[in-house]
Amino acid sequence: MDTIKKPETIEKEKVAELHFPESDVLISSDDIQRRTYELERASQLGNGDHVKIKIIFEDTDSIKQVETTVWAVTKERVVLKHGITIPIRRIHEIK
C-alpha cells in the first residue's frame, strides 16, 4: 500500500455529512484484496468482541480517520453504528 498523508481524525457521526467520489482510492488489485480481507476481519472483531478499529478513508476534501466498531460489511459499504456508512471504494486502510 502506498504511504498516505496523516489523516484528520473525526467522530463517526460526522461521516454522514461527508461526500464521496465514485472512484476507488486504491489502484493495485493486491491492495484491493488486502482491504477486503481487513474489512472482513474488522467486521468479525466488531461483532464478536466489539473491538474498535481505525478506518482511514478519503472524501471529496481530504483523508480522514475514524475509530469505531464495524457492524457490517456489504458489497459496497462498511456499516457503522446508527447506520452510518462509508463506501468501501474510498477506504485506504484498516488498522
Whether 90 shows a pLDDT value over 60: the answer reads yes
d(CA 11, CA 67): 8
How confident is the model over 45-86, as pLDDT tens digits? Answer: 877 778 899 999 999 999 999 999 999 999 999 999 889 999
d(CA 32, CA 1): 9
Taking the CB of residue 39, how many other CB atoms lie within 10 A of it? 18
d(CA 41, CA 1): 18
The answer to whether 56 touches 4, Cβ cutoff 8 Å, is yes
Whether 1 shows a pLDDT value over 50: the answer reads no
Question: What are the sequence ranges of the domains in the chain?
Answer: 8-94
d(CA 92, CA 3): 10
How confident is the model over 5-56, as pLDDT tens digits? Answer: 789 999 999 999 999 999 999 999 999 999 999 999 998 887 777 889 999 9
The reported pLDDT for the residue numbered 47 is 75
